[in-house]
Amino acid sequence: MFAEIALQTILAAIVGGIWITPLVVSPAARSSLDDEALKFFLKSFFFRFHLFIVLMLFSYLSIVYFFQLAEYELIWSSTKNLVMLVLLGLNVVNLLLSLIINNTKLETASTFFKIMHGLSVAIFASTSFVSLFYLIEKFISL
């Protein structure tokens, strides 16, 4: 029971974190910071945010592995766990993409930047929708 509550809380934190960032954090930072401070804040914030998402997915899979799997059962034997493993891998890639974007001098109008940024947003959106699906699925099945 406690494991289920922890898993649902983690899923809610993932969904909430992903949707609160573009709706609250970015507009608030844009309205209160100058250009240089905004660049520094957004770079550091998004690195920490990517790290938060990776840690949340890792903790989700850790709870599943240590508290819910039967003995001798593989973690990827369940479709839900396999999807979460794929999301963890994609978000690790997203963390690396954010490091590449933050530590290189990329023009925001360049095609490479747009592809990297689009890929990052797609990973976030897929993580959010999959987490929301599993969160809603749990409440519907009650």
Q: What is the pLDDT of residue 35?
A: 82
Distance of CA 39 to the CA centre of its chain: 21
> Can you say whether residue 71 is alpha, beta or left, with left for phi > 0 and alpha for psi between -120 and 50 degrees?
beta
What domain count does the chain have?
A: 1
Question: What's the pLDDT tens digit per position in 101-126?
Answer: 777 776 777 888 888 888 988 999 99
Encode burial over 46-67: b for 16+ CB neighbours within 10 A, e otherwise: bbebbeebbebbeebbebbeee
Range of the domain at 90: 2-140
**pLDDT tier, 15 (very low <50, low <70, confident <90, very high otherwise):** very high
Contact 90, 126 (CB under 8 A): yes
Q: Is the pLDDT of residue 97 over 70?
A: yes
* Percent share of the chain, pLDDT over 70: 99
pTM for this one? 0.87
